[in-house]
Every structure is written in C-alpha cells, then in structure tokens.
C-alpha cells in the first residue's frame, strides 16, 4: 500500500511516499530555517505563506523521487493536529484537493503520533506496547504506546517544551536559531560540570516536566555576570545546561519505565537528534536492561515520511476523514485514542 503524505504543522513543508508503513520511497523537505532565523524563531504568518508557495513543488518532487504517479497512490495522508493553525490548513487544503480529485481516501494523522512512528521506519522490529519519550520544539511527552493507534500520556511539560528551552537558552548564549544544534556542538567543547543548574519538579506529577525554571536559571546566570562585568564561557554554560536536560529527561523516563513495567523505550521528536540525550538514554537503558530505540537523524525533525508511516496504521484501524477535515492547533494524544 502506497500513501502520499503531507506534513506542514510548523515551518517545514514536507511530502513523502511511504509503502506499507516502513518503506520510504521519497521524503522531500523544504525548510524555512534561514528566513525564520532573521527573527530568532518561527513567525506563523510567514510560515503559512511559505507553505502555500512551496507545497506544489515539494509534492511534485516527492512523486518524481518515488517514480510514482497519482494513479499509483492508494491514499493521501496529512497532519491535522497539533501545530500552527495557518500552517496546518495549507497542508490540509492541499491534501483534501488531491484526495478529492484522485478519488483516494484521506487519512488524518496526529503530529506526535507521527514522531513516534518514525521509529518504525528505522526499527521495523519495534512493536507496541512500549514506552515513548517525545521531545520537540513544542512538545515533551512520556507516552504509553498501547497499540499502533492507541496512546496514554503519562507525563508532559507544564510550561516550556524541551526544544523551546534549547532555543531560548541558545539565544541567551549568543547562538543562532534553531538553538538545539548549536547547543549540542558547543556542549562538546565545554565543561558539563562548570555550573549547577536546577532540576525543576512538579509536585504530585512525578513524570511531568518543567523546563521554564531551568531556562530562567541560565538567563539569570548570563545577565548577572554581564552586570558585574564578568565573562561566562558559553561552551561551559551550554554543556552544563545540556547535562541538566539529559539528567531530567533520563530520570523521569527511566522512572516511568520502571514503575509501569516497560522493557522497551522509543525516543522521538526533534530533540531526539541531540547527541547528549541519545547517549544518556541509551546508557540508562543498557544499565536497566531496557531495549532502546531511536529514529535515524533524518527522521528526527518534522518530515512527511513519519506521517506516511503512521497513516498506514491509521488506515488499517479504519481512520478516515471527509472534506470537512479541519486543522486543530492543540490536541492531546489521549483524545485520539478515545
């Protein structure tokens, strides 16, 4: 079964063709990073306009790379939630037009479910149930993956997401957007024990995250040093910050694995590309006897291959959308499992 998939939830215009859930025939991504870097972050209106300008060419490139025509496609899939509403609507509108014109079924896909599904592409042997940890620019979740289309969120952030925290700290330390890549590179040159940053906790929610206090601690360190005329090594601050994030994520995730009885853990989301996070979770899983899975780096960020992969399982579960499909800016994974 070949599925043409579209992802446009933020600032990446992406199209892919995926066969039987795991075989990626094409995966095209048009990034807007260079333009948004001018503003230090994603500007929703600009993102929506660029999606509208790029999507036709990206779709054509996906068909060309796969050596397919629309007649070869069995279904059209699209991210419908969560994300920037204007950005989502561009992809949804294009997908609806394509499905209607070609008389193909339309499959709505949840963005976070897509990130989790990226692991099936890189690790075909991974099968539910297992525990998932999703870390991205807008999301930080610990998820029980009960089946390919059923989820239970056991932990989430109460403020900043992990990726958002990376971006804000990077800006404070003088690095460009998106900050995760620059923090990761700087951390390799710095002393991870140079500074002791807090490990914020949420009372009564042992698996939940709170990254806002950590971000503020780094900002205060830099600003207080500047006021005193002192120099702070950005590499040391980056290394200490990344170490702290890794400790927080590893502690909560492994505690959830232990308490809930899972022996398989899958990492996903844009922050899953961070070398420190990958190494910390891998080491913790090895020590605890937990099988660890993570996507290839090319599937960590937003892409349409992961949407096509998840759409395959959604299709098998009978999920379909009609021409009334709309974008949803905020929608928990728990809701799509009801």
List the helix and strand counts (H, then E) for the chain.
11, 10
Which pLDDT score, from 0 to 100, does residue 338 have? 60
**Cis peptide bond prior to 325, omega within 30° of 0:** no
**Cis peptide bond prior to 82, omega within 30° of 0:** yes
Q: In whole angstroms, what is the distance from residue 291 CA to residue 142 CA?
A: 16
Residue 277 backbone class (left: φ over 0; alpha: ψ -120 to 50; beta: rest): alpha
Q: In whole angstroms, what is the distance from residue 300 CA to residue 115 CA?
A: 7
Strand, coil or helix: 179: helix
| Residue 278: both structure tokens together | 């990958």
Q: Write the DSSP symbol of residue 10.
A: S
Task: Let me know: does 278 contact 300? Beta carbons within 8 Å.
Answer: no
Please report how the helices 212-227 and 162-172 are oriented relative to each other, as an axis angle in degrees rounded to 10. 10
Q: Write the DSSP symbol of residue 152.
A: E
Q: In whole angstroms, what is the distance from residue 332 CA to residue 240 CA?
A: 32
Dihedral angle computed from the Cα positions of residues 267, 272, 276 and 280, in that order, rounded to the nearest 10 degrees: 0
Q: State the pairing for strand pair 264-268/12-19.
A: unpaired
Domain ranges of the chain: 2-116+302-336, 128-294
Q: State the pairing for strand pair 106-110/75-81.
A: parallel
Label each residue of 216-269 as H, E or C.
HHHHHHHHHHHHCCCCCCHHHHHHHHHHHHHHHHHHHHHHHHHHHCCCEEEEEC
- The three-point CA angle 154-162-169 to 5° equals 155
Q: Report pLDDT digits (tens) over 123-153.
A: 999 999 999 999 998 889 999 999 999 999 9
Same fold, 2-116+302-336 and 128-294: yes
Is 3.30.420.40 the CATH number for 128-294? Answer: yes
Structurally, at CATH architecture level, domain 2-116+302-336 sits in 2-Layer Sandwich (3.30)
Q: In whole angstroms, what is the distance from residue 93 CA to residue 56 CA?
A: 12
Which residues in the chain show pLDDT less than 70? 338
Q: What is the pTM of this model?
A: 0.95
3-state helix, strand and coil shares in percent for the chain, rounded to the nearest 5: 50, 20, 35
Residue 217's Cα: distance from chain center in Å?
A: 25
Q: In whole angstroms, what is the distance from residue 86 CA to residue 253 CA?
A: 33
Dmax (CA) of the chain: 67
For residue 85, report the phi and psi dihedrals to the nearest 5 degrees.
-60, -40
Average pLDDT of the chain to the nearest whole number:
96
Q: In whole angstroms, what is the distance from residue 271 CA to residue 242 CA?
A: 11
Q: Terminal CA-to-CA distance of the chain, rounded, Å?
A: 26
């Amino acid at each position: 079964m070949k599925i043409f998939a579209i992802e446009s939830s933020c600032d990446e215009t992406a199209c892919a063709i995926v066969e039987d859930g795991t075989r990626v025939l094409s995966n095209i991504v048009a990034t807007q990073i260079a333009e948004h870097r001018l503003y230090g972050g994603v500007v929703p209106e600009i993102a929506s306009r660029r999606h509208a300008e790029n999507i036709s060419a990206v779709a054509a490139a996906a068909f060309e790379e796969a050596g397919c025509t629309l007649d070869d496609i069995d279904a059209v899939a699209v991210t419908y939630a969560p994300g920037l509403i204007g950005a989502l609507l561009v992809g949804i509108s294009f997908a609806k037009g394509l499905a209607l014109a070609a008389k193909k079924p339309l499959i709505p896909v949840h963005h976070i479910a897509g990130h989790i599904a990226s692991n099936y592409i890189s690790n075909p042997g991974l099968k539910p149930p297992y525990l998932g940890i999703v870390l991205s620019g807008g999301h930080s979740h610990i998820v029980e993956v009960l089946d390919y289309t059923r989820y239970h969120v056991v932990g989430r952030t109460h403020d900043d997401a992990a990726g958002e925290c990376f971006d804000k700290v990077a800006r404070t330390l003088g690095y460009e957007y998106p900050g995760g890549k620059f923090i990761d590179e700087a951390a390799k040159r710095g002393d991870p024990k140079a500074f002791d940053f807090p490990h914020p906790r949420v009372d009564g929610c042992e698996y939940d995250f709170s990254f806002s206090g950590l971000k503020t601690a780094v900002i205060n360190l830099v600003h207080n040093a500047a006021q005193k005329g002192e120099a702070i090594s950005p590499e040391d601050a980056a290394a200490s910050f990344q170490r702290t994030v890794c400790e927080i994520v590893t502690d909560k995730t492994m505690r959830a694995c232990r308490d809930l009885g899972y022996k398989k853990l899958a990492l996903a989301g844009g922050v899953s590309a961070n070398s420190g996070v990958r190494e910390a979770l891998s080491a913790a899983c090895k020590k605890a006897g937990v099988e660890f899975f993570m996507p290839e780096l090319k599937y960590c960020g937003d892409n349409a291959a992961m949407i096509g992969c998840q759409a395959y399982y959604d299709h098998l579960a009978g999920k379909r959308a009609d021409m009334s499909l709309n974008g949803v800016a905020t929608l928990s994974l728990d809701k799509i499992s009801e």
